[in-house]
Amino acid sequence: MPLLNIPEEILELRSTLRDFIDREIRPREERHRQEIQETGTFEGAGQERLELRKRSAELGFWTLHMPEEVGGGGLSYLGQVVLHEEGYRHGLLLAQFESIFPVVTGPTPIYLDCTPDQRARYLDPLMRAEKVTCFALTEPGAGSDATAIQTKAIQTNGSWIVSGRKHFITGGDQADFALVFALTDPDKRARGGITAFFVDRDTPGFEVTRIQRTMSPFQNPAELTFSDCEVPAENVLGKAGYGFYSAARAINGARLQIAASALGIARHLLDRSLEYAKSREAFGRVIGNNQYVQGMLVDSYAELEQARLLVYKAAADIDDGSDGRKECALAKLVATEMVGRVADRAIQVHGGNGFMTELGLETWYRDVRAMRLYEGTSEILRTNVAKGLGLA
């Protein structure tokens, strides 16, 4: 298809999403405006997001990305990035961070490896937004090199005994169950020796050890500890030893979602910067007449437009049958690096006002920094692209 020939049904979905945000989400957030201006977030934001994801599930947004055979909308990758960008461009806390669309705390393609029983116990409640999950892979000694995990699972009497510690786990403090990756064959590791397990929150030995604080008020992951947790054999996701193969189902979609989110945030920050540059006066004229300010705004506009073309093309390529590994790695790399620069320029255009918490720009500046870290650091993504170019 022509690159920007977005199907009419996707445009209609985007319009419906925009109406939902303006009608139901914006009024909720406005009630907390003063607290958000002072702290960057508000008390009870987590509970409001849980309520909104149930509403999103009722309207069908929550599961648009999942295949129709499991009750999802079967939305194309192009449709997903268009909607994720729309969700983030409003600059509302409650329109993002797993409120309307899930990334890791709700249903993802990895759950397509569920057995019928697992689907009833785990996937179906996630599809209805009745439960929260988390993706428990990262450990203190295993970040980008996830194959170095030390959490172990030992098979005994028809069960598995899981022991280890996970950290930086998004949604870990609220999860009803965790999808835990553990070493089941130290010799094979990622080549048949790492298994994914469903571990229920009430399993003896499962503990949320602490909440980890970050430079962003939006992102406070959890540390999880598993002390001799007995997990039944039927809680293995997919084939024992092949947890990484199941996880590979979701990597392209997750990276595109993050890239699209970066587009939306960048668009929000650019719109606010343009509005400010057209109204703020200094030395007898609006600052938008200053060539230095114009240069920053044009650079942000140019980089955003370039990144959008790349992200949309990557999504369209996958829809047309491409493997997508290289394309999605490049899309996330370019989009997340771009939004960091746009956020920096937004503060510079606003001058001292941009440094104040009242405008909320500094909050976004801190938040987008993490986008270059999760679901593949910029350095790992460059390595992925290099492999795709035949360099390694």
The two three-digit tokens of residue 225, written as one number: 């500890």
Measure the CA angle with vertex 315, ends 118 and 143; round to 5°: 60
Active-site residue, selected from the candidate residues 48, 303, 362, 375? 375
Residue with tokens 């890791």: 104
State how far the Cα of 315 lies from the Cα of 304, in Å rounded to an integer: 16
Q: In this structure, are strands 222-232 and 159-169 parallel, antiparallel, or unpaired?
A: antiparallel
State how far the Cα of 299 lies from the Cα of 386, in Å rounded to an integer: 27
CA-based R_g, the chain, Å: 22
The two three-digit tokens of residue 23, written as one number: 């009608």
State how far the Cα of 121 lies from the Cα of 111, in Å rounded to an integer: 11
86 is an active site residue: no
Residues 272/360, Cβ–Cβ less than 8 Å: no
Number of H helices, E strands in the chain: 13, 10
Q: Which of 248, 211, 194, 269 is nearest to 376 (CA)?
A: 248
Positive/negative CA dihedral, 332, 335, 341, 347: negative
Q: Which of 231, 245, 247 is nearest to 152 (CA)?
A: 231
Positive/negative CA dihedral, 278, 288, 311, 95: negative
Residues 270/346, Cβ–Cβ less than 8 Å: yes
Q: Which of 72, 246, 219, 50 is nearest to 133 (CA)?
A: 50
Q: 138-142 long-range contacts, Cβ below 8 Å, gap at least 24?
A: 138/166, 138/167, 138/168, 138/169, 139/164, 139/165, 139/166, 139/167, 140/165, 140/167
Residues taking part in catalysis: 375
